[in-house]
Amino acid sequence: MKLVWSPETASKAYIDTVKSCESFKESSVAELLSALAAGWNAKLIVEAWSYGGPIATSIGLAVAARHTCGRHVCVVPDERSRLAYVKGMNESAGISATEVIVREAEEAMAELVGVDFLVVDYKRKDFVRVLRFAKVSNNGAVLVCKNACQGNNISGLRWNAVLERGTRVVRSVFLPVGQGLEMAHVGSKVKGEKNLKNSPTRSRWIKHIDQRSGEEHVFRGKFRAEVD
């Protein structure tokens, strides 16, 4: 199954987030992520918040969850972070219904099965573990790493290296919004060999461009169609 985009829902969430984040000087990230989460009709929106970070994105995700009738869950590593997060949400937007899970990354993500939209702060030391242990929805999911320009992350996030083995990255992109957003659309996990074994074999032309030399290579490859 594939994600289905709803421009109407995205627009509503965007406008509501603009209103809710009027007091923030830079809320472009919050507005964009809110629109994306709502537009993809995300039912389980998970956020890995970093202590001391701004709360605007959290407000935007909460707004998106309201429009999709979904859940907005925030994952924090300790009680200090939980208290700061809850206080920030209450003081900034008067939002108190957001679920907060205080766990190590692996334990927290194990509880959240079927993630549709995940936002991780690059400033978190365990941001890779949050991504790796994410249990994405069978319909696919959108994964976002914000503050991607921080530290030495100048060569781009290698999604296949940080995600759980078997996760299929459909498309990835870097957006120069805020402090940088690394985004990836992932599909359901690759089907097992048992399902592919009896599926029909097809062939198609495949184009590959060498990132270093710029040379274009075209070859004919065979693949097996997935059988549901």
More confident: 93 or 59:
59
**What is the rounded distance in angstroms from the CA atom of residue 30 to the CA atom of residue 38?**
12
State the fold for domain 7-186: Rossmann fold (3.40.50)
Residues 182-222 pLDDT 10s: 999 998 655 543 443 444 555 555 554 544 555 555 544 44
* Token duo for residue 150: 């921080």
User: Do 149 and 178 touch, CB atoms closer than 8 A?
Assistant: no
**Nearest in space to 52 (alpha carbons), one of 104, 101, 103, 123:** 123
Residues 44-58 pLDDT 10s: 999 999 898 889 999
pLDDT band at 21 (very low <50, low <70, confident <90, very high): confident
**Nearest in space to 31 (alpha carbons), one of 41, 42, 46, 20:** 20
CATH 3.40.50.150-classified regions of the chain:
7-186
Helix (H) or strand (E) holding 218: strand 216-224
Examine the pLDDT at 227 and tell me if it is beyond 50. Answer: no
More confident: 7 or 158:
7
Examine the pLDDT at 153 and tell me if it is beyond 70. Answer: no
More confident: 143 or 218:
143
Q: How does the average pLDDT of the chain come out, rounded?
A: 81
Instruction: Output b/e per residue, 158-194; b: 16+ Cβ within 10 A.
Output: ebeebbeeebeeeebeeeebbebbbbbbbbbeeeeee
